[in-house]
Structures are given as C-alpha cells and as structure tokens.
Structure 1
Amino acid sequence: MLRFVYSLLWLVALPAALLRLVWRARKEPGYLEHVGERLGAYGHLPAAGPWLWVHAVSVGETRAAQPLIEALLAAYPGHRLLLTHMTPTGRQTGAQLFGKEPRIMQCYLPYDLPWLVSRFLRYFRPAGGMLMETEVWPNLVHGARRAGVPLFLVNARLSPRSFRRTARFGRAAAAMYGDFAGMLAQTVGDAERFEALGVAAVQVTGNLKFDMQPAPASVERGKRLRQAFGERAVLAAASTREGEEPLLLDAFSRWQQLSGNTPRPALLLIPRHPQRFDEVAAMAARAGFTVQRRSELDIDQLSAPVTADVVLGDSMGEMAMYFAASDLAFIGGSLMPLGGQNLIESCAVGTPVLIGPHTFNFAQATEDAIAAGACLRVADAEDLVRTASKVLSNSASLADMRAHAHTFAGLHRGATVRTLAALAQALGT
C-alpha cells in the first residue's frame, strides 16, 4: 500500500519534476539533454548486451565507482557495462573517466514510476545491478526483483540521521531493503543500522573511495601549480556549499591581514556545484580579493607566478590536482549541517585535512582520519584559519600530518576486491 501511495505521489509530481529540469537548465543546460531517458525512452541506444549495470547518481558516486567498474570490466570480459546517472555533472564525470572505453555506455535512470522502471529493465535486461551508496528507489528495487535482476546496494552507507528517518516506515522499510540481493556496507556501523531495519543479507566490504588512485598526471600538474605559488601557504577549500564561501572568505581575509609582510597565503576555492562557479568568483571579487580562475590558467605552460589571493577551481575532474597543489585542505559541506564530503582523495595525495563539525555522511572515515593524525576537526571558519595558520607555520607538524595522510589512505584499501567477491555468487565468475 505504501508503494502504491508513493507511486501515486510520483505520478502527480511528474510534471513538476519535468519543470524542475527546465528551471535547473537555466544554470546547467545539461538538464535539458536526454530527457527522454528519464521517461524510459532508450530506443536510440543499443540494447545488445549482456549488461552489468552500475548506478552512480552524481559526481561523488561516479568517482567512487571507478575502481569497481574497472574491476568488473576485467572480471567479466564478455559483458558490457551500463552506467546510469541522475545529474549532468555525474554523466560528465563518467564521460571523463570512461569515455574511451568502448564497453561502457551511459544514460539516465528513469524516474521511479513502475512502468518507466519496467521499460528500462526490459530494454537492457541487465545480468546484475549495483546501486552506489544511498540510491534506494522503491519501485526500481522492487521492479528489479520481479524481473529477476539481482540488485545490490554497493558501498552502502546509512547515517544515524537517515536511519531514524527510515525506521519510521517499519516493516515497509524492511520489505524494501529485503528486495535487494545483498547490501555491501562501508562500515560495521552502517551494517548494524541496516540490520536494525530488518535487513538480513548485509556484508561489510569497506569504502571503495579508498581504492581510488589519483592519476599520476593530475598529481604532477598539481605540483606544477603549487610551485607557481612560490613561498605562499596554499589552503584548498574543496567541495564548498552555498553559505560556506562567505564564512571562509571573511575568515581568510583576517588571516591574510595577520600575515603582515610575510608571503600572504593563497586560497584554492573549489565549489562543489559547477553552476555556482560564476557566483562564487563574483563573491570573492566583491570581498576585495584578486581572483584567478583555473579555466584561465594554462598549467602546462605556467611561466609566471600565481599572485592572486583566490584561485577559483572552476573545472570538473581535477580534484586530485587541486589537492596536490595545496599544503592543507578543508573539506566542504562540513561547516554547515550538510554532512560533509569525501576526505579520502586529499589523503591519497598526501595532503592533510581540516574538517568542520558536520560530517554525518562520512562519520567513520572522518573519525578514522582524525585518529590516524591525518585530519583535524575545526569548530567554525575562524577556527579553520587559526588551525591552518598554526599547522602551516610548523614544518615538522605539517610533515607528520602528510605522512599520516598517506598511511591512512593506504591502510583502508581493498574494498574493491571484497565487493567483487561478494558479487561473484550472483553474477558468476
């Protein structure tokens, strides 16, 4: 009955969902591309498989899926891989990562209405499906079970806050999760919360993001950019969200003033959403900073020092480069109650991390990084720049944190192998 009500609400909301695409396309035109796929129209795409299917809603999930996708292609050479998304930036990231791989095809997942889901499953008939992290769509999960498609929630996480919300649905939640062929959780805590909902088939396989390897070319380009800053300290503020940038810019201004006649620090500011690049650049300029956009820098041909107060990271797919160009990185989404973002990629290039108080989406990874000495938690923007100044003025402390960051990232690898082993029974070997 709840799924019927849910489907009815989706049907009523469908016109609004389509209008929302038009609204979002004002800043991100990609939302008006491939609209038919969101309605289950895939006739323009080849159906011939057999297919393995991975759903990665947006940028973070797509990047996290990279080691798994590469492992699946190697383990199942007779299959093609269907990579689905919900956002243009996720699709763009997939194209950047896998655009040269002929066995991978991308499209949008349809809206979660039973007949649209059925169109998708009938057209591609995947041999198995993997939804990344938190993407649980009731009709999709139920439809996959009815179609005989083994479906797994991979790299699964369930924060305490999400658990409390989901638990309100009682047996309906247990029934929905019970339609999965398996739940492959990031941590013991995630597994325990799934089990408390009544889910039986839960395994802890670890976090795939630890298996993400930064491209050597990206790291080298980051080092070239770092050299262009000279003796200036460089703080990256990565994946920042709306409302955080004013706090960061205000605190950064005071840090610059306190630096006196010594080389003034530089801020590498990388907003999470590309549609906000222009807005954040204008915000930094209004605050009195000189601003240099990454899109205007030819990093391979840098011949002059970078002297701007703020370098805006207005590009996609270059996070490893930005981290490699920085002495210290703040991970956004954590100054405000948004749950934080992934800190593992920064540690993987040896750049230690500062993070705010709100990290419920990445709680275990954050606590592990703090315990390992790779990360420091800060209370607010003022505490952030105060802590950054302290760490960056102590070369021994900074060197220790860099070493701890590398060690932390390396110790937790192996989730891809464990995930592939857990999938083998359903997908074959």
Structure 2
Amino acid sequence: MHTVYSVVIVLFFLAVSPYFVYQAVRYRKYVGNLRQRLGYLPASFNLDGDESIWIHAVSVGEVLTARALLPQLRERYPRLRIFLSTTTMTGQQVARENLQYADEVFYFPLDLPPIVRRTMRLVKPRIFIMMETEIWPNLLRACRRAGVSTVLINGRISSRSFPRYRLARRFFRRVLDDVDRFCMQSDESARRIIAIGADRQRVSVTGSLKFDSLDTPVSAAGERGRHRVLRYFRVNAARPVVIAASTLKGEEEAVLEAFGRVRANRGDALLIIAPRKPERFDEVERLGRRAGWRLARRTELPVDAEPKVDVVVLDTIGELAHLYEIATVVFVGGSLVDAGGHNILEPAIYGKPIVFGP
C-alpha cells in the first residue's frame, strides 16, 4: 500500500508541476526552498549531529499553537535540540520570528522514502510531533523503523474530512499503527480517529492547545514586531477600525459592501483587510479600488502617521495578530465560504467584538 501511495504522490506532483512553475514565476513561491523540500538542508543544519525533537506545523495557525508546547519540551528534554518544519512560506516566516525555543526551522520534505530518509539522517529525531492532523505515511513508517516515537498533538478530524478518511480506512489503519500517541482536541475527534483505525488505547482527549498558546509570552523579536507594525497605524482613538481577518476568495466583496454601510454612519471608519493567501494581495487591492475606496497597502503606509485612506490591504505576513489591539470590531474570514472558519481566539483575548459567518 505504501508503494501505491508513493506512486500516487509522484504522479500527483507531475500533474500539478505546471501550477508550481506558474507560482514560482508569478509570485516567486517555492523558488528558494525546493532543496529543503527534497531533503537537502543547509550545510549548517545540526552540525554536531545531535538528537532532536522534530515538530511539524503546516502553516501559521499550527506554528502559533506550537508556541505553548516548545517551552515545556525544552524544560523536559534539555539535551535534545528542537527543530520545527512548516509546509507554507507564511508559516516559515512566522516560525522564524516567533519561536524563540526552536533551534532550527526548515521546510517539510516531500513524503517519498529517499527524501524522508535523507532528511531524517540530518534531523536525527528521537521524537516526531505532528501538530493537528498531519498524516504522512512514508515519514511515519520511517520513524517506526528507526525507533522514533511519534505523537499527534492537537488532533482534529473535521466532519468534512471524516468521510474521506473512512473511504480509505484500510490504508489509514496501517498508517495509524505507526503513531504511538494521539492527543485529540475533543471527544468527537477521538471517536473519529478510532473509527478510521487508531488503537483506542493510544488515544487521549487533551483539549485544544490553542487556548494554552494564547498565554505564551512572545519572543523579544515578536515584541519588536508588535511595536514596529503599530507605528504604521497611529489611529486616533475615536476612529473606528474594522479588521477583516484571513479572508478567502468570495468574502471580500461582502466585507466591502458591509463596510459601505458602516461608513454611512461613521464616515471616518478604517477597514483593514488581511487576505489569507499572499498571492491574493493584488486581487484584493483591485476589488477595493473597483468599489471606489481610497486604498493603500500596508507596505505603502508612512511610519508614525495615521492612514489617510479608507481601506488598507495588509500585504505582510505575521502582523495581523498585533493589529487586533487597535480594532473596534473583527470579522474572521473563512466563515462566509465553505472553509470552516479561522481562529477567533486571537481577537477574543483583546476583548474585541467578533463577527463570523454561518
């Protein structure tokens, strides 16, 4: 079954390679990290060959959730190095800026046996931790054969993905046999992971780690980042600020329309739109201008001044969480389209009113 899976992975990447080429040419994505994804880490990576704890966090949300875990791991395993991998470029940047306890940050390798083995020879994991539900069959098999303990933390099986997992239950039962411990967010997720083949003796309900991560102190670099970004938004305390956070395609039109109603009552209101995907910055800017708003990108704003526009497109990575501090109300994206919604906890800790879709 693993051989069939590997063949499917190769065929899939061959099929989507034109997309990756387009993304590389159009947005410069994947250009600087392909070697790492093929298992060729920098020459300076783990020069001493130390054993490690390898944590994989796909993107920004998982990286920020991992903040609560890293200090505890450092305290409990002081002799092991801590390495963290991400899949997305945005996750990589946020990890480098916020995770003071991680010794190295790198890109997750393609899940093919030769590439996985090459990466493991350099990382030398004693423990492999997957944030949320990241199931990579070849990597898990390699960990099992090498005697590496594997743990799924903050695990979640959504109602949307559960039927797909059940269709491949025979395959996933074999894959899940390679995981030593499943720490699930809820009773429902625990029942679902057992239903697709996990040994119930290895499954625990530990709650959501996102709540723990909210109280985790940010690094010095993260605090400097907060002060830096707020210098671009010296907003008068009486000026309403609406933040549309992590919006997806199909949501900005509704946000802009609703903002028009806000402006009918408060003509000085400011809208900050933070698209979820960086490649959509241009598209969202066009939508705002087409709607007739005075608009600027965050990277165009002068420092230590109040934005003299109606709408700001947040075309940066890792700054959104800092801006909740100045928000009057926050709309959380991914909730007007079929995407499950994004994290409402970050604006909630600032005591901000939160709006989200069905």
TM-score in terms of structure 2 length? 0.89
How far the C-alpha of 1:265 sits from its partner, in A, is 2.6
Corresponding position of 2:169: 170
- For residue 335 of structure 1, report the CA deviation from its aligned partner: 0.3
Percent of aligned pairs with the same residue? 36
Q: Is residue 2:235 matched to residue 1:228?
A: yes
Q: State the distance in 1 between where 2:340 and 2:331 align.
A: 14
Q: 1 CA distance for matches of 2:196 and 2:93?
A: 35
Once the two structures are superposed, residues 140-159 of structure 1 have per-residue CA deviations (whole angstroms, 9 ceiling, x without a partner) of: 22221122111111111110
**Structure 1 residues 116 and 153: alpha-carbon distance in aligned structure 2, compared to 1, 3 A threshold:** same
State the alpha-carbon separation in 2 of the partners of residues 26 and 67 from structure 1: 37
CA distance in 2, matches of 1:198, 1:57: 23
* Residue 245 (structure 2) aligns with: 238
Decide which moves more: 40-49 or 62-71.
40-49
Cα distance change, pair 220–349 in 1 and its aligned pair in 2 (3 A): farther
Conserved? CA contact 1:225–1:325, under 8 Å: no
- The corresponding residue for 2:257 is 250
Aligned length: 348
Shift of 1:217: 6.3
- How far 1:293 sits from its partner (Å)? 2.4
Structure 2 match to 1:61: 62
Q: 3-state SS of the aligned residue for 1:23? A: helix
**Aligned-residue CA RMSD (Å):** 2.4
The aligned counterpart of 2:277 is 273
Cα–Cα, structure 1 residues 109 and 223, in superposed 2: closer, same or farther, change >3 Å?
closer
In the alignment, the residues of structure 1 paired with residue 105 and residue 225 of structure 2 have an alpha-carbon distance, to the nearest angstrom, of 24
Secondary structure in structure 1 of the residue aligned to 2:197: coil
Per-residue deviation, 1:229: 4.0
Relative distance call for 1:338 and 1:174 in structure 2 (3 A) is same
In structure 2, the partner of 1:144 is 143
1:70-81 equivalences under 5 Å are 70-81=71-82
What is the CA-CA distance between 1:290 and the residue it aligns to?
Answer: 0.8
> Partners in 1 of 2:312 and 2:136 — Cα distance?
39
1:320 positional shift: 2.1
| Distance (Å, rounded) in 1 between the aligned partners of 2:181 and 2:121 | 22
Give the Cα–Cα distance (whole angstroms) in 2 for the partners of residues 207 and 330 of structure 1: 22
Matches within 5 A, 1:194-343: 194-199=193-198, 200=200, 201-212=202-213, 213=215, 215=218, 228-257=235-264, 259=265, 262-298=266-302, 301-302=304-305, 305-343=306-344
Deviations 1:102-149 (A, max 9, x none): x61122222111222222223322010101112111212222112211
Structure-2 residue corresponding to 1:380: none
Asked whether 1:132 is paired with 2:136, we answer: no
Q: 2:54·2:129 contact (CA, 8 Å) conserved in 1? A: yes
2: distance between equivalents of 1:70 and 1:27?
A: 39
Q: 1:221 to 1:351 in 2, by over 3 A?
A: farther
Query: Using a 3 Å threshold, how does the CA distance of structure 1 residues 89 and 226 change in structure 2: closer, same or farther?
Result: closer
| Residue 71 of structure 1, CA deviation | 2.4
- Do the aligned partners of 1:222 and 1:320 also contact (CA within 8 Å) in 2? no
CA contact 1:320–1:349 (8 Å) conserved in 2: no
Deviation at 1:219, TM superposition (A): 6.5
> Could you tell me the TM-score, scaled by structure 1's length?
0.75
**1:341-381 Cα distance to aligned partner (Å, 9 max, x none):** 11111112222311111xxxxxxxxxxxxxxxxxxxxxxxx
Q: Which residue of 2 aligns with 1:44?
A: 43
What's the CA shift string for 1:86-106, capped at 9, x where partnerless? 2222111111113x66x6112
**Alpha-carbon deviations, 1:45-96, whole Å to 9, x = none?**
4341121100111222112112212322233221211111222221111111
Equivalent residue letter for 2:180? A
Residues 310-353 of structure 1 show CA distances to partners (whole Å, capped at 9, x for unaligned) of: 12222211222221111111110110001111111111222231
Give secondary structure in 2 for the equivalent of 1:53: strand
SS at match of 2:204: strand
Residue of structure 2 equivalent to 1:381: none
8 A Cα contact 1:40 1:120, kept in partner: yes
Look up the match of 1:96.
Answer: 97
More helix by share: 1
| C-alpha distance in 2 between matches for 1:88 and 1:20 | 16
Preserved contact between residue 221 and residue 321 of structure 1 (Cα < 8 Å): no
| 5+ long unaligned stretches in structure 1 | 358-429
Q: Tell me, which stretches of 5 or more residues in structure 2 are unaligned?
A: none
